[in-house]
C-alpha cells in the first residue's frame, strides 16, 4: 500500500514537473539539439571558419601548429582543445560543444524574457527563437556567432536581476562580458544595452554603490579580468581585427571584391521575413544557411503582420497613458521633447548612412535613454517594463547599425540580433492577443494555449523546412574521404607540398600545412597551373564540381565533388 502511494506520489511529481515551462523548454531543446547533432555529424562541417577553429584547437592542445589563424577569437578553440587533450580528436567535438552552449543560451533567453513576460509567453518566445531558420541552421555548426550571443544573453540577464533583485549577481556580469568578447569580438557591442539599462536604473545603482564590498569586489574582479583579456589579446594577431574595425569606422570599401561584400544598409531589415520562417519545405542547404536566398513562408507574413500591428498598438498605448489634464498643462514641454527626439533620430539616420559607426552608436544610446526619461511615469512595474523594451531596442539597434555599415554581410550575422528580434515578436503577439481578449469570449482563459500553439507551429514549420533542406552530406565530407585516401595511396604524402582551394580543411584532416590555391584568382587554367608548379605543389585537392584540365597534373581520384590532382611533370 505504501509502495503504491509512493509510486503515485512519484508520478504526481513528474506530472507537476512537466507542467513547468522551463522543464518543457529544456526537454524540447534537448531533443532538438540531439537531432541537429545527428544531422550535423552526418553532413560534416558546414563552412570555412569551423576548420580554422579546429586547427587552432589543436594548437591550444599542443598537438600541432598547422593552419593556425592567430587573430580569431580563442574561446571556442580553447574549450574544444580541452576535449582534444582527453584523447578525443574529432570534428564532432566542436558540434557537441556548440549544442551544449546553445541549450544554455535558450535557458538564458527564457529567464531574461521572464523578467518582462509571464512563463507561458517566455516559453513561446524561446521556442520562436529556436525556430528562426538562421538560428536552427547554425545551432550546432561549430561557429562562434551563437555562442557569442549566448554569453551576451547571460551577461544581460545577470545585470538585470543584479539591479532589480540581488546585487550579488552583478559579480557575474563582467566575467560573462569578457567570455562573450573572447568568443566573438563584436559581442562587445552588448555594452550599449548594458549602459542604457544601468542609466535607466541609476537609483538602484546608487544604492548598490553604497555597499563597499560590492565596489571593492567589482574593482578586483575588473583588474583580474583585464589582465586575462590582455593576455589573450597579446597572444593573438589582432591586425586583421583592427583592420576590419578601421575599414568600418573610416568607411573604407577595400573589400569590394569579396563575395560577401554588400553595401545595402537595410539588408537585414529587408530580409527580416526570411529570418522568421522559410518556405517551401523543399530547398537547398545553402538557403537554410543563408535564408535571404530563399523565400519567406506564409507563416512569416502572418507572424510579421501580427507583430507589427501589436507593436504599433503597444506604442500607441504607451504614448497615450498621460492624463488629458497633464497633456494640456505640458503642451510646450511635450513639444520640446518631440523636437529633441526627432532631431536625435534624424542625426542617427544621417550618421548611419554616412557610415559613422561610433557616432551612430552614441546617438542610439542617447536616443533610447532620453526616450526612457521622457516616457517614464515613476511607477516601478511600468518603468521596469519600459526599460526592458528600450534595452532590447538598443540591443537590436547596436548590431543593426554595425552590420548595416559593415561592408560584408552574411545572414548568420543576423544571429546577433535574433534574441531582440524574438523579443519584439512576442511583445507584438502579446499586445495583439491582449487587444482581442475583450472582443473574443473565452480567449482570456485560453490565451496561454494560443501562445504555445503559435510557437509550436513555428517550431514544426522550421523543423520540417530543416529536414527538407538538409542534404545527406556536404562537400567537406568528400574532403575528409579524399584526405584519408591519400594517406593510403602515398604513405610519404607528408613530405610533399599539398595545395587546395579549401586549405584549412585539408590541413585539419592531414595535420600538415596546405597551400591555398584558388582558380578564380587567375585568368585561365594555364596561369593557375603555373602557380601550382612555382610553389612545388605535388597534390592538389579541388572542391569545385567542374574539375578543369591542369597542365602538368592529372586527376587520380574523385570523391563526390572533390578531385585529387597529382603532378605528372618535374
Cell representation of residue 19: 507542467
Regions of the chain short of the pLDDT cut 70: 1-19, 206, 209-219, 221-222, 224-225, 228-260, 321-332, 378-380, 442-443, 445
Give DSSP secondary structure letters for 322-371. Answer: S-HHHHHHTHHHHHHHHHHHHHHHHHHHHHHHTT-HHHHHHHHHHHHHHH
Kindly list the strands in the beta sheet with 553-559, ordered across the sheet, starting from the edge strand earlier in the chain: 515-516, 497-500, 537-542, 562-567, 553-559
d(CA 419, CA 153): 8
pTM over 0.95: no
| CA geometry: angle 311, 316, 321, nearest 5 deg | 130
Decide if 143 contacts 98 (C-beta within 8 A). yes
d(CA 386, CA 371): 10
Q: What is the pLDDT of residues 370-397, one digit of tens each?
A: 999 988 876 667 888 999 999 999 999 9
The phi, psi pair for 558, rounded to 5°, reads -125, 145
Q: What is the pLDDT of residues 507-549, one digit of tens each?
A: 999 999 999 999 988 999 999 999 999 999 999 999 988 889 9
Per-residue 3-state assignment (H helix, E strand, C coil) for 43-80:
HCCCCHHHHHHHHHHHHHCCCCCCCCCCCCCCHHHHHH
* Per-residue model confidence (pLDDT) at position 445: 63
Per-residue 3-state assignment (H helix, E strand, C coil) for 155-203:
HHHHHHHHHHCCHHHHHHHHHHHHHHHHHCHHHHHHHHHHHHHHHHCHH
* Per-residue model confidence (pLDDT) at position 112: 97
Closest CA to 101 of 55, 56, 138: 138
Decide if 255 contacts 407 (C-beta within 8 A). yes
Any bridge partners for residue 555, and if so which? 565
Could you tell me which residues come within 8 angstroms of residue 216 by beta carbon, excluding any fewer than 6 positions away?
A: none
Decide if 248 contacts 407 (C-beta within 8 A). yes
Q: Is the dihedral of CA 561, 566, 567, 568 positive or negative?
A: negative
Cell representation of residue 509: 584532416
Amino acid at each position: 500500500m505504501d509502495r503504491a502511494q509512493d509510486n503515485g506520489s512519484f508520478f504526481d511529481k513528474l506530472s507537476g514537473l512537466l507542467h513547468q515551462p522551463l522543464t518543457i523548454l529544456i526537454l524540447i531543446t534537448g531533443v532538438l539539439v540531439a537531432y541537429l547533432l545527428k544531422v550535423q555529424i552526418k553532413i560534416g562541417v558546414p563552412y570555412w571558419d569551423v576548420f580554422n577553429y579546429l586547427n587552432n584547437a589543436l594548437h591550444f592542445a599542443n598537438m600541432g601548429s598547422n593552419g593556425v589563424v592567430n587573430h580569431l577569437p580563442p574561446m571556442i578553440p580553447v574549450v574544444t582543445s580541452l576535449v582534444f587533450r582527453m584523447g578525443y580528436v574529432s570534428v564532432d567535438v566542436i558540434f557537441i560543444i556548440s549544442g551544449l552552449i546553445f541549450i544554455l543560451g535558450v535557458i538564458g533567453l527564457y529567464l531574461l524574457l521572464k523578467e518582462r513576460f509571464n512563463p507561458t509567453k517566455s516559453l513561446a518566445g524561446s521556442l520562436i527563437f529556436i525556430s528562426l531558420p538562421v538560428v536552427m541552421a547554425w545551432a550546432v555548426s561549430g561557429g562562434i556567432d551563437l555562442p557569442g550571443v549566448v554569453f551576451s544573453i547571460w551577461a544581460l540577464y545577470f545585470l538585470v536581476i543584479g539591479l532589480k533583485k540581488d546585487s550579488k549577481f552583478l559579480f557575474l556580469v563582467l566575467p560573462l562580458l569578457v567570455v562573450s568578447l573572447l568568443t566573438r569580438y563584436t559581442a562587445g557591442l552588448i555594452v550599449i544595452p548594458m549602459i542604457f539599462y544601468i542609466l535607466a536604473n541609476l537609483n538602484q545603482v546608487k544604492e548598490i554603490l553604497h555597499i563597499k564590498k560590492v565596489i571593492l569586489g567589482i574593482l578586483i574582479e575588473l583588474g583580474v579580468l583585464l589582465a586575462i583579456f590582455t593576455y589573450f589579446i597579446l597572444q593573438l594577431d589582432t591586425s586583421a581585427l583592427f583592420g576590419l574595425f578601421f575599414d568600418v569606422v573610416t568607411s573604407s570599401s577595400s573589400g569590394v571584391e569579396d563575395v560577401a561584400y554588400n553595401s545595402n544598409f537595410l539588408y537585414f531589415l529587408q530580409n527580416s521575413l526570411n529570418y522568421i520562417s522559410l518556405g517551401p519545405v523543399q530547398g537547398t542547404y545553402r538557403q537554410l544557411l543563408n535564408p535571404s536566398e530563399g523565400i519567406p513562408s506564409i507563416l512569416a507574413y502572418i507572424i510579421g503582420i501580427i507583430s507589427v500591428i501589436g507593436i504599433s498598438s503597444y506604442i500607441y498605448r504607451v504614448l497615450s497613458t498621460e492624463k488629458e489634464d497633464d497633456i494640456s498643462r505640458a503642451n510646450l514641454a511635450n513639444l520640446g521633447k518631440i523636437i529633441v527626439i526627432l532631431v536625435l533620430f534624424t542625426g542617427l539616420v544621417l550618421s548611419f548612412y554616412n557610415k559613422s559607426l561610433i557616432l551612430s552608436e552614441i546617438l542610439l544610446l542617447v536616443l533610447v535613454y532620453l526616450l526612457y526619461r521622457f516616457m517614464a511615469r515613476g511607477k516601478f512595474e511600468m518603468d521596469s517594463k519600459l526599460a526592458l523594451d528600450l534595452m532590447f531596442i538598443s540591443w537590436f539597434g547596436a548590431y543593426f547599425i554595425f552590420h548595416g555599415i559593415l561592408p560584408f554581410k552574411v545572414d548568420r550575422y543576423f544571429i546577433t540580433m535574433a534574441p531582440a528580434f524574438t523579443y519584439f515578436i512576442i511583445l507584438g503577439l502579446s499586445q495583439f492577443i491582449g487587444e482581442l481578449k475583450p472582443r473574443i469570449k473565452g480567449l482570456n482563459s485560453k490565451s496561454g494555449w494560443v501562445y504555445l500553439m503559435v510557437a509550436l507551429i513555428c517550431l514544426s514549420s522550421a523543423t520540417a523546412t530543416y529536414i527538407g533542406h538538409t542534404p545527406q552530406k556536404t562537400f567537406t565530407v568528400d574532403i575528409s574521404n579524399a584526405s584519408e585516401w591519400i594517406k593510403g595511396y602515398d604513405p610519404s604524402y607528408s613530405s610533399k607540398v599539398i595545395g587546395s582551394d579549401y586549405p584549412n580543411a585539408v590541413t585539419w584532416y592531414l595535420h600538415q600545412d596546405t597551400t591555398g590555391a584558388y582558380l578564380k584568382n587567375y585568368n585561365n587554367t594555364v596561369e593557375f597551373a603555373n602557380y601550382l608548379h612555382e610553389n612545388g605543389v605535388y597534390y592538389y585537392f579541388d572542391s569545385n564540381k567542374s574539375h578543369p584540365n591542369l597542365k602538368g597534373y592529372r586527376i587520380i581520384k574523385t570523391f563526390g565533388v572533390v578531385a585529387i590532382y597529382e603532378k605528372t611533370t618535374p
